[in-house]
C-alpha cells in the first residue's frame, strides 16, 4: 500500500516517538520500519509480546541481506517482530557502520516497503542529511513528515533542509513527493501552525504544516518505555492521532514501479 517517512531536519526531536504515536493512530494496520541510518532506537526501547528483547539479527539487516541475495522470495513478514501492544516492527541497525553494508540495496528496500499488500509502512528515517543512505526511501514515499520545533533555529534548519532536498523530492513537478511538517509544541499554541505555514510559503517551499505533536514529556517517557497504556489518553496521543489522519490524507497514489513480483507479505 503506502510508504510514509517520518524524519527531522536537525537532531532528532522525538522522531521515533512521533512515528510510534502515528502508528498507534493510523487509519489502517501499519508496520513501523526503523530506518535511522545513525542507529535505531526501536529494538533498544521495546520488548516482544513475551517480554523478551527483540532479536537484533532480525530486521533491516536481515531484510537487506535477503534483497542483496535476490528478490524472488523476499517476504517482509519474515523480518518483522511484534512488540508488546501488537505493533509489528522492522528493527533497525545498531550503528552507522552497519548501514554501509546495505549499499545499493536501499532502492529495492524502498520499493519493497512501498508495495506491502494491505499494509502501510511508517518509516522512521531519523535526521535527514544530504547524501543519506535513506534518500531512495524519501523518493519512493507517498508522503514525508518532517518533525521540528517552531523556534528560530528550528525553522532555519527546516528551511535549509527542505531547500537542499528540493531536487530529490522533485518539488515543482507533477511527481513531487508530498511533504508535511509537524511542530513539537504546546497543544494550546494553535496559532503557531499558521505562523510557520506563512514562513514556509514566503520561502516558496511547497510543504504543508499538518499540525502539532503535543509536547508531553510524561506521555513521551511512557511510550519510550513501551508502556503505551499510560499514555493512551494523553495530549501526545490525541495530537498524534489527528496528525496520523492528516498525513494519511496527504499521501496520494503515486505510480508503482514494476519491481515487486517478490512475494511480499
Q: Please, which contacts does 77-80 make with residues 24 or more away whose CB atoms are closer than 8 Å?
A: 77/264, 77/265, 80/31
Q: Which helix (H) or strand (E) holds 146?
A: strand 143-148
DSSP annotation string for 68-136: HH-STT--GGGG-EEBTTS-EEE---SSHHHHHTTTTHHHHHHHHHHT-TT-EEEEEEEE--TT-TTHH
Please give the domain boundaries of the chain with CATH numbers for all domains.
Answer: 3-250 (3.40.50.300)
CA 28 – CA 120 distance, rounded (Å): 7
Say which range, 65-74, 152-161, 221-230, has the weakest mean pLDDT. 65-74
Share above pLDDT 90 across residues of the chain, in percent, rounded to a whole number: 72
Give the confidence band of 254 by pLDDT, cuts at 50, 70, 90.
low
pLDDT at 123 > cutoff 70: yes
Give the confidence band of 255 by pLDDT, cuts at 50, 70, 90.
low
Q: Which helix (H) or strand (E) holds 196?
A: helix 191-202
| Bridge partner residues of 182 (DSSP) | 147, 211
| Bridge partner residues of 145 (DSSP) | 6, 180
Q: Write the pLDDT tens digit of every residue in 89-109.
A: 999 998 888 887 787 889 999
For the question of whether the overall pTM of this predicted structure is more than 0.75, the answer is yes
Say which range, 21-35, 93-107, 178-192, 248-262, has the weakest mean pLDDT. 248-262
Give the confidence band of 252 by pLDDT, cuts at 50, 70, 90.
low
Amino acid at each position: 500500500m503506502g510508504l510514509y517517512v517520518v524524519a527531522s531536519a536537525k537532531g532528532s526531536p522525538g522522531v521515533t516517538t512521533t512515528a510510534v504515536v502515528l502508528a498507534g493512530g493510523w487509519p489502517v494496520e501499519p508496520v513501523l520500519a526503523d530506518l535511522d541510518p545513525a542507529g535505531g532506537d526501536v529494538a533498544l526501547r521495546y520488548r516482544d509480546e513475551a517480554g523478551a528483547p527483540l532479536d537484533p539479527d532480525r530486521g533491516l539487516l536481515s531484510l537487506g541481506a535477503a534483497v542483496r541475495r535476490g528478490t524472488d522470495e523476499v517476504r517482509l513478514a519474515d523480518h518483522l517482530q511484534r512488540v508488546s501492544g501488537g505493533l509489528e516492527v522492522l528493527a533497525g541497525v545498531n550503528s552507522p557502520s552497519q548501514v554501509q553494508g546495505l549499499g545499493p540495496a536501499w532502492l529495492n528496500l524502498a520499493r519493497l516497503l512501498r508495495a506491502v499488500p494491505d499494509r502501510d509502512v511508517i518509516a522512521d528515517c531519523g535526521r535527514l542529511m544530504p547524501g543519506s543512505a535513506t534518500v531512495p526511501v524519501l523518493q519512493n514515499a507517498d508522503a514525508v513528515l518532517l518533525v521540528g520545533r517552531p523556534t528560530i533555529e528550528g525553522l532555519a534548519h527546516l528551511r535549509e533542509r527542505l531547500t537542499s532536498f528540493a531536487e530529490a523530492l522533485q518539488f515543482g513537478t507533477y511527481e513531487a513527493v508530498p511533504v508535511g511538517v509537524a511542530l513539537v509544541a504546546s497543544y494550546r499554541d494553535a496559532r503557531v501552525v499558521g505562523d510557520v505555514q506563512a514562513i514556509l510559503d514566503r520561502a516558496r517551499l511547497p510543504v504543508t504544516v499538518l499540525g502539532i505533536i503535543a509536547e508531553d514529556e510524561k506521555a513521551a517517557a511512557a511510550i519510550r518505555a513501551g508502556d503505551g497504556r499510560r499514555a493512551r489518553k494523553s495530549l501526545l496521543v490525541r495530537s498524534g492521532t489527528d496528525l496520523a489522519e492528516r498525513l494519511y490524507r496527504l499521501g496520494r497514489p503515486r505510480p508503482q514501479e514494476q519491481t515487486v513480483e517478490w512475494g511480499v507479505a
